[in-house]
Structure 1
Amino acid sequence: MKAFSPLKPWLNRTQSLPSFKYLQDTSPTLELGASVIFDDYVPLFKLHRQRAQSLPISWEQQRNYVELALDIINSDEGGWLDREEVQMILDELGNPPDACYPIYMFTVKRDTFEEVLYIGKTSSKFSRFSGGHTAAVKMHHPKYDGFEKRVYFGCITFLNENNSLPLEWIHPKNFSLELLDSIESQLIHSLKPTLNTQKKKNYCALHPTSIHIQNTTSDSMYLNDYMISPY
């Protein structure tokens, strides 16, 4: 799976970092919407090799890295870094933690046709995939013979008036988890994947928002620039 960190632009000095103390007192502006970006996939037969994705763990890793980094440079706020501060942080802490990919979707693809069969969230610290996923087993049905079977992984970003807010930066942690559940609920209710059994008929999103889906993989435009309304 591709690796990226929302903290990289801060350490590359291309973007300032909002104070995490500020983030504790703010919330995403749901009227501005959210982005779900599927930027990587694996073939279904390689799914068991994927490491566990855990939003709670990633949330803690992001916060801890920032707190330690600010201690190193003796700062109470993120802001902009100079080159010396960047080097101090990297020397002490190494590279920042990767983002979590807490949303995934199973698809079948043949030529220009592609269809989503299942959408889920990887919110446990234990991999759902290591023991065999129920939907993945069902994709071995003969009716899917001849199709390429893919598992896409997506990250989620919200906005407020001043910042782009990765899901891991949203406080408190329980609210971040609620937003993840709401995004999953909206995706399932709107796209109605065949193999999902819950959330298709009933609208379960506690924090509805407009969702802009982006597919930035190199060989598929499936669902790219697809918009989902809040209701």
Structure 2
Amino acid sequence: MFKPLSSWIERRQPIPKRFYTPGYIDVPKDNWSVWLSIEEVAPLHLAREMQWLSLRESRENTAQYLETASELISGLEGGSLDRWEQEQILEHLGMPPFPSLPIYLISCLDDSSEELVYVGKTKNTSRFNGGHSAALKLHAPEYSNKQKKIYRSTVWFHDDEEYISLDWIQPEALAHELLDSIESHLIYQFQPSLNIEKKIKPTAKWEFYVHIQNFLEGGFLNDTFI
């Protein structure tokens, strides 16, 4: 799984200014480039065994990691790491935290095709505890002989200056608004059979054009633009 701060810790890119600019606020625009990056897949019946991480937890993990890294190297200003700084961070902290993967897609497939049947978002780590309404609907006869999968994904933006992980958006309330908007856009465009809400008319707050990327085996929905 790709970790959002990997390019920085591997010394390929400077850290975004947002991480050392007090009071940084994002201002999303409809012309931002947007990617839905599919990072994990599993049989649907194993969904509860996946490592679910809420958007808030991911943000807290990133903030704690960078706060400690800043103490180790006397600040993040300047953006790029030298070799000694990189070694200090990796020795004491290891690699950066995982992303939250808050958008999930449920599909059904047989020998001929794979169909997206549900789009959802998760804000906490207990989304699949105690069952899930879409999973229960998949017991219907029309799905009985099909394999069910769950894909987990994260969202990336580009504002003409830098790439921005959804986990980095400031403030946190805006990150949740963007998450809801992306989910709404996906549901309206794909019209998954098991979704009920957000299908009649567009409800996304931003009119993003979303590029879906999936480099996992099978490449479900890879290079789809909506």
Secondary structure of the structure 1 residue equivalent to 2:31: helix
Deviations 1:4-40 (A, max 9, x none): 3111221111221112134814434430321001132
**Identity value in percent:** 38
Deviations 1:145-170 (A, max 9, x none): 22111001111001112110000111
Deviations 1:75-124 (A, max 9, x none): 24251111210121123223221011000011001124111111000112
Normalising to structure 2: TM-score of the pair? 0.92
Moved more, 5-14 or 19-28: 19-28
Normalising to structure 1: TM-score of the pair? 0.90
Query: Equivalent residue for 2:208?
Result: 209
Whether contact under 8 Å (1:105, 1:120) holds in the other structure is: yes
> Quick one: which amino acid aligns to residue 140 of structure 2?
H
Secondary structure of the structure 2 residue equivalent to 1:179: helix
Superposed structure 1 runs of 4+ greater than 4 Å apart: none
Secondary structure of the structure 1 residue equivalent to 2:61: helix
Secondary structure of the structure 2 residue equivalent to 1:31: coil
Whether contact under 8 Å (1:48, 1:131) holds in the other structure is: no
Q: Structure 2 CA distance, aligned partners of 1:26 and 1:104?
A: 24
Q: 1:78 to 1:115 in 2, by over 3 A?
A: farther
Query: Equivalent residue for 1:17?
Result: 15
Whether contact under 8 Å (1:213, 1:225) holds in the other structure is: yes
Query: Equivalent residue for 2:69?
Result: 69
Query: Equivalent residue for 1:225?
Result: 223
Q: Structure 2 CA distance, aligned partners of 1:18 and 1:28?
A: 16
Q: Structure 2 CA distance, aligned partners of 1:78 and 1:215?
A: 33
Whether contact under 8 Å (2:188, 2:201) holds in the other structure is: yes
Query: Equivalent residue for 2:41?
Result: 41
Q: 1:16 to 1:194 in 2, by over 3 A?
A: same
Deviations 1:135-193 (A, max 9, x none): 01111222112211100111100111211000011111111110000000000011111
Q: 1:148 to 1:227 in 2, by over 3 A?
A: same
> Quick one: which amino acid aligns to residue 6 of structure 1?
P
Query: Equivalent residue for 1:153?
Result: 152
Secondary structure of the structure 2 residue equivalent to 1:137: helix
Whether contact under 8 Å (2:4, 2:165) holds in the other structure is: yes
Aligned residues: 224
1:1-231 equivalent positions in 2, closer than 5 A:
3-19=1-17, 20-22=19-21, 24-77=24-77, 79-124=79-124, 126-219=125-218, 221-228=219-226
Q: 1:84 to 1:76 in 2, by over 3 A?
A: closer
> Quick one: which amino acid aligns to residue 74 of structure 1?
S
Whether contact under 8 Å (2:54, 2:100) holds in the other structure is: yes
Secondary structure of the structure 2 residue equivalent to 1:17: coil
Whether contact under 8 Å (1:53, 1:127) holds in the other structure is: no
Give the RMSD, CA atoms, in angstroms.
Answer: 1.7
Q: For structure 2, list consecutive stretches of 5 or more residues without a partner in the other structure.
A: none
Secondary structure of the structure 2 residue equivalent to 1:92: helix
Q: Structure 2 CA distance, aligned partners of 1:83 and 1:117?
A: 47
Moved more, 182-191 or 195-204: 195-204
Q: Structure 1 CA distance, aligned partners of 2:134 and 2:196?
A: 10
Deviations 1:54-81 (A, max 9, x none): 1111122212212221221012425111
